[in-house]
Amino acid sequence: MIKSLDYNTIQELIKSSGSEEKELRVKGYEVFSKVPMPMWKRVKLDDVHIPYYKEYKSAIIKNEEQDGLVTNLITKALMDDDLNSLNTALKRNFGVDDKFKNMVLAFYNTGFSIRALPNSNIKLPIAVNYAVNGDDDTIIDLNLIIAERASNMTVMFDYSSEKRGFHNGLTVVIAKDGSNVNIVKIQRLSDDSSNFDNNIIITGNDASVKWTQVDLGSRVDAYDITAELEGTGSSTYLNSIFLGTKNQSHDMSYKVNHIAPRTESNVDAKGALKDTSKAVFRGNLDMKRGAKKAKGNESEVVLLLDKTVRSDAIPALWCSEDDVQANHSASAGQIDENKLYYMMSRGLSIDEAKLLMVEASFNPVIDTLPSDTMRESIRDYIGRRISG
């Protein structure tokens, strides 16, 4: 089924839906239809076109049959508990833009609900693969990750394509009291693809969420990760690597709201830019009133592999509480010519020397990925991008 993203398509989609799911799609469409496409200053959306609605049938989930784990394909049915959790998350302010966030809510065509039951320890990483295959070239995914009290789990998302595709996703992560969640997102869509991703983390008391973002593909790439540290003693650690080649544009936004006492966050982004690529990093730490003894840090380091690239960093720190610690830093620098000359004098080509420098920066993050196969695949992909 190929349809325009309009009212008639919404009516088709909600025919067999429950009342709350209907409300979700209809409310999403009301905002989506009224809000214009954003006009971003640094990352241009001139070549991004709103897709048609298509069914998407290529989603794959692995390691879903484990004790203490409940998974569900969201397009088949949204459970009442899932809808309640989703509606709670949607009251927060997050996402790359209201246009893209509400596109997902109205027209999602795939996605999973993944829930770890109380006191469960999910041993194997749950792997979710969204690939552009044949006519399955439009991925609009809605994902809900819930870690119940004192549970532990790892979820890894992989978005990939070798042909032009469109991705726009929304992922909600709710970590309840005492839980530990590890999220990995890998984006390696083709050079003529568009990628938009809206993400929110909500933590309970003493909960912890680690998020690793690996952003390597797409012509236009924009994502937002917002963390709401609502539980006392909760924490989030956001680590990312990004690579820009050719004429790629990356727009990355991290927002951490310290709401409860003794919360802790760390945002660490490492990037490399080549050819005429661009990147914008936005990092916001907000120490709300009442977040006593909270600690927050953010850092971005970008390696500029050519003089024709552009890197913009826009860090911001907001503080409404006295008894807190917060730091931010950002740096971008050209390759050290002496190091480059030394490596080339040892027989390396200029691309091989650049790759070594990028690997030295990226490897501490790549080494934390929960799959040997994925680690090698990412290294191979980066090598091809640098040498290509």
Is pLDDT above 70 for 1?
no
pLDDT tens for 64-77 read 999 999 999 998 87
- Whole-prediction pTM value? 0.96
What integer is the mean pLDDT of 263-268?
Answer: 97
Q: Compute CA distances 124 → 157, 207, 208, 222, 314, whole Å.
A: 14, 20, 18, 30, 37
pLDDT tens for 91-132 read 999 999 999 999 999 999 999 999 999 999 999 999 999 999
Is pLDDT above 90 for 4?
yes
What integer is the mean pLDDT of 75-86?
Answer: 87
